[in-house]
Amino acid sequence: MRYWDASALVPLIIAEAESGWARDRLAEDDRIITWAWTRTEIVSAIERRTREGALARLERRNLLRVFEAFANKWDEVTDILSVRARANLLLARHPLRAADAGQLAAAMLVQEQLSSPLTFVCLDQRLSIAAELEGLQVMP
């Protein structure tokens, strides 16, 4: 099982330069755990691309349908109070946006519950650096 940040999941839904890499990582281990807010982050990515004209309305509807089916297969961290408390501490230590601090906090919560190291799959450089500093194994 790997913890997937939204930055690594988006290329599985929307065609991007990193899509092949993300599909290969998913083929290696298809158990996904992520934060509950990830769904909102991915919908935001789809809607932003639609507003910018990169996606047509029909493509948007199809992507949202594909995304919902995909998201229903993963596990989500839903303990908002624990995630929020950790995220607030992380914001003091790292130059992260709020949602990124939430992702890292959720991954750290999962890491504490596992007996083996947790791999953090992330394509955001700032968040990857913070995750490494917090002791997570980061991919790539």
- 2-139 classified as CATH 3.40.50.1010: yes
Q: Tell me the pTM.
A: 0.93
Is 115's pLDDT higher than 80?
no
Give mean pLDDT, residues 96-124: 94
Give mean pLDDT, residues 70-93: 97
Give the whole-angstrom CA distance, residue 67 versus residue 14: 9
Give the whole-angstrom CA distance, residue 104 versus residue 120: 9
Q: Quick one: pLDDT at residue 117?
A: 85
Is 40's pLDDT higher than 90?
yes
Burial zone of 118 (CB within 10 Å; 0-12 exposed, 13-18 middle, 19+ buried) = buried
Please report, for the chain, the start and end positions of each structural domain, with discontinuous segments joined by +: 2-139
Q: Quick one: pLDDT at residue 116?
A: 78
Give the whole-angstrom CA distance, residue 9 versus residue 7: 6
Query: Which two structure tokens, joined as six digits, stand for 119?
Result: 């791999």
Where does the pLDDT of residue 34 fall: very low under 50, low under 70, confident under 90, or very high at 90 and above? very high
Q: Which are the contacts of 66, defined by CB distance < 8 A and separation ≥ 6?
A: 13
